[in-house]
A = this chain, B = another copy of it.
């Protein structure tokens, strides 16, 4: 079996580096030693395990990608860059016949979809690559659609903890609010209890020292009006490995879709999960 060639763009970022490390560990994938990077990056190369990856500036990317494609053939791009780069990068991938897995959030998402649909390439676009979390969100969405108001009269509490640097409320928690509201427990973003203090995270939440700088813990609690029934759903993620594993799965899924001649198609993490 030929290995699938993958270019990880956005190096040397945290998430792109983690994804590249997981790609290196997958024997059916081949990390190619080039990566698109931002104009603000001064480094010309970065190290991923034993691999030295050459960083390509925007000004030289067109010329470089042509020679890379000549040498490597079909290349799948993984994009963990910056919200401001999302639309421009997508256009670049489409114009250069580079199928891609987009893990970067932000940008104009509608234009992003349109760019791919008008193109000859296929892409997986997933603001959250954590498969199990995406599955849990889909379960909640199913419940909200199928059993509206089943938790009517219940009291909801949402708590989340993330590394100190994260200023905004958890996007996952915000998405969950929508489902819980339809399930009969209306809730607003301001009611979410956010924890950003590393000392409290360690002592009260029990978050391991090593992950104080990178974690996403969420707990949703529901209590019936009379107090006799209690439901609780928790998903605690330490570090970024879950997202890197999901990225690798998305690459394999996209490669299968390319083999099936998918063109102008956008796939989501739900498609990757279903595997069809």
Query: Which of A157-165, A226-234, A259-267 has 4 or more CB atoms under 8 Å from chain B?
Result: A226-234
Q: Say whether A24 faces chain B, with CB atoms less than 8 Å apart.
A: no
Q: Is A132 within 8 A of B231, CB to CB?
A: yes
Q: Is A232 within 8 A of B232, CB to CB?
A: yes
Within residues 206 to 235 of chain A, which ones have a CB less than 8 A from any CB in chain B?
A: 211, 222, 224, 226-235
- Whether A229 contacts B224 in the complex (CB less than 8 A), given A132-B150, A132-B151, A143-B138, comes out as no
- Whether A147 contacts B237 in the complex (CB less than 8 A), given A132-B229, A132-B231, comes out as no
Q: Is A234 within 8 A of B235, CB to CB?
A: no
Which partner residue on chain B sits nearest A231 by CB separation? B235
Distance in Å: Cβ of A221 to nearest Cβ of chain B? 9
Q: Is B136 within 8 A of A146, CB to CB?
A: no
Q: Say whether A236 faces chain B, with CB atoms less than 8 Å apart.
A: yes
Query: Which of A61-69, A112-120, A238-246 has 4 or more CB atoms under 8 Å from chain B?
Result: A238-246
Q: Is A147 within 8 A of B143, CB to CB?
A: no
Per the bound structure, the CA–CA distance linking A132 and B230 in Å amounts to 10
Q: Say whether A139 faces chain B, with CB atoms less than 8 Å apart.
A: yes
Q: Say whether A135 faces chain B, with CB atoms less than 8 Å apart.
A: yes
Which partner residue on chain B sits nearest A234 by CB separation? B232
Q: Say whether A176 faces chain B, with CB atoms less than 8 Å apart.
A: no
Within residues 118 to 154 of chain A, which ones have a CB less than 8 A from any CB in chain B?
A: 130-132, 135-136, 138-140, 142-143, 146-148, 150-151, 154
Distance in Å: Cβ of A179 to nearest Cβ of chain B? 11
Q: Say whether A274 faces chain B, with CB atoms less than 8 Å apart.
A: yes
Per the bound structure, the CA–CA distance linking A139 and B146 in Å amounts to 9
